[in-house]
Amino acid sequence: MNILLILAVVFGTLVLVRLANVAALASKLSGENEEAEQESANRWNSIGMISFLIIGLIVMIYMMTQYLPLTLPKAASEHGEAIDGLMKINWIVLFVTFFITQILLFTFAFKYRYNKNRRSFYFHDNNKLEAIWTIIPTIILAALITTGMKEWNDITNKSASMKGIVVQIYAKQFDFTVRYAGKDNKLGGSFFRRITDTNPLGVDSSDAATADDMVAKELVLPKGAEVQLMINSRDVIHSVYLPHFRVQMNAVPGMTTRFAFKPTITTAEMQKETGNPKFQYVMLCNKICGVAHYNMQMTVRIVEPAEYEEWLKTQSAVFPVEQAVAPAPADSAATSMAK
């Protein structure tokens, strides 16, 4: 990072010094010889173009070596690996295009600076060329589109299939609550008008499916199991973002959204993988939702299946048996949201 700054400063001063020279030189001649002034500007700016290209590309590559290691570690979910693979292919295509076009752009700018003894090439149409650069991008894009869509269909079909451990993520300003569906793997119905201080999720206590539901303030999931997130919000739009698993889905008041994924790396394994013993997965809110948006998050732990079963036993039921259950409000519209 320091090297980077130094590079930037050096390049910046270089440009400034050059331009100041040009300015000084040119002002001497100014008035008498506008043409000479423009000629020297042409020279220095065209050199600027090629230098910007070269130095720019070097700085860019340098940044990638420094900063890419700071980006997300390898995907910790099954579909996440597929997404990362797809991303790699896209990056290759894009980088090749990027290099070709930027190099052509800046080299032409460098090479074809004004010369009064020369005329530009009067060249304004060429059907063959234009057909080539319409067709080639079309083919490349067709390939990217089809691979992307296939992946997208796989991911969303899974989310629609409703297989796997059902977990509700319930968002409100400014925290998440997790509700596990329990043995029946069915969430009891819930409705916003039932929300009270003791029933913050508005769960329907008379629903048979509710009895074994459990709530937690931490998302713990077993490695290798399919998980079905059922996502709700009670106030504004939030977004459930699990960057390490390549999972994101908005939490929208008035509807249930879903996302299915299969965690493949436990927290402990990821701590080894990243060399960071304090590493934790996280669930972040990723849709602006109010003043404390930046602070809305929950820790996520992926554990071995056995450990998960143990942990689950220690979680509290939505309605502990001893707690008197409030009668459901007389609201016929109270449909179950999470079915």
Q: Which residues bind Cu ion (CB under 5 A)?
A: 238, 285, 289, 296
Q: How many residues at the interface with another protein, by CB under 8 A? A: 121
Mark the segment that binds another protein (CB under 8 A) among 103-111, 163-171, 178-186, 313-321: 103-111
**Nearest distance in Å: CB 311, another protein:** 22
Which residues 246-275 are close enough to bind another protein by CB under 8 A?
246-250, 252-255, 257
Nearer to another protein, 17 or 208 (CB): 17
> Letter for the amino acid at 66?
Q
Q: Would you count residue 206 as binding another protein (CB under 8 A)?
A: no
* Residue whose C-alpha is closest to residue 77's, from 259, 258, 263: 263
C-alpha 74/C-alpha 84 separation (Å) is: 8
In degrees and rounded to multiples of 5, residue 192 shows phi and psi of -65, -25
Query: Which residue from 13, 115, 206, 323 is in contact with another protein, where contact means CB under 8 A?
Result: 115
Q: Which of 32, 122, 322, 332 binds another protein (CB under 8 A)?
A: 122
- Residues with Cβ within 8 Å of residue 60, at least 6 apart in sequence: none
For position 336 contacting another protein by CB under 8 A, the verdict is no
- C-alpha 163 chain-centroid distance: 25
Check if the beta carbon of residue 164 is closer than 8 Å to that of residue 226.
yes
Q: Is the bond into 174 cis (omega within 30 degrees of 0)?
A: yes
Name which of 221 and 247 has its Cβ closer to another protein. 247
One-letter amino acid identity for 269?
Answer: E
Q: Which residues from 67-96 bind another protein, rule CB under 8 A?
A: 67-68, 70-72, 80, 82-83, 86-87, 90, 94
Of 42 and 309, the one with the shorter C-beta distance to another protein is 42
CB of 171 vs another protein, minimal distance in Å: 12
280 and 300 Cβ atoms separated by less than 8 Å: yes
In this structure, the number of other CB atoms found within 10 A of the CB of residue 15 comes to 14
For residues 67 and 71, give the distance between their C-alpha atoms in angstroms, rounded to a whole number: 7
Using the minimum distance from each CB to Cu ion, give the nearer residue, 179 or 238: 238
**Contact with another protein (CB under 8 A) among 166, 234, 308, 338:** 234
Q: How far is the CB of 149 from another protein (least distance, A)?
A: 5
Q: Between the CA of residue 29 and those of 18, 45, 113, 292, 338, what are the distances in Å?
A: 17, 18, 21, 60, 79
- Candidate residues 173, 185, 199, 271; the one interacting with another protein per rule CB under 8 A: 173
**193 contacts another protein (rule: CB under 8 A):** yes
Task: Give the footprint of another protein on residues 302-331 (CB under 8 A).
Answer: none
Would you give the end-to-end CA distance of the chain in angstroms?
51
Which of 227, 296 has the CB closer to Cu ion?
296
